[in-house]
Amino acid sequence: MPDALFNPQSEINDALVSSALLGAGLPSEAEHHLWEAGLAYHLDDIAENHLREAEALAPGHAAVLIGLYRFYFYKGRLADALAVAERCLTKAASENNLAADWRRVRAGDAGFGRYENFLPRFFLFSLKGYAYLQMRLGRTDEGRLAVDKLLELDPSDKIGAGVLLGVLDRIGQDDE
């Protein structure tokens, strides 16, 4: 369950790399570093250096942010992943012309209800990653606020925030 909760990369990473929807197009050298980071994934220092090189070449590009997020998440560096999720939220809010504070975003502020709307979906997935990581780091109150916001913005729950709500609701109950 955990690895699939915030997984925009599996759905949108190719689009981010090849399009300018979330900012300027990704420079080929930055794309090369992302590719090399993937190839060197098992070599932490080398992979992270490639990610940092990509970031230096394309600071704030969504593809780079997602690459950093994935690396930190799958390496179990959850605090680092959370910092990147927060950067993704900031970028997604900006690209969608939303309030900088996700708590102030309202359902009518963007086309959240239409799953095919790429930019609002990036915001929702970023908020989902933020919520999940808050939960994993023991900050369940903050995680619940973010999950509640997700369900407000996406009441049909196309991105699966209800799963997180179920986890939160079961905290402290005995599993049988």
Tell me the two tokens of residue 163: 């799963």
Domain hosting 132: range is 2-170
Spell out the per-residue pLDDT of the chain, length 176, in tens.
333 333 333 444 444 444 445 545 899 999 999 999 999 999 999 999 999 999 999 999 999 999 999 999 999 999 999 999 999 999 999 999 999 999 999 999 999 988 778 889 999 999 999 999 999 999 999 999 999 999 999 999 999 999 999 999 988 776 55
Does a structural domain hold residue 21? yes
Does a structural domain hold residue 23? yes
In the chain, the number of structural domains is 1
CATH number for position 80: 1.25.40.10
Does a structural domain hold residue 175? no
Does a structural domain hold residue 125? yes
DSSP 108: G
Cα-based distances in Å from 161 to 2, 3, 51, 158: 12, 14, 29, 8
CA angle 18, 20, 24 (to 5 degrees): 115
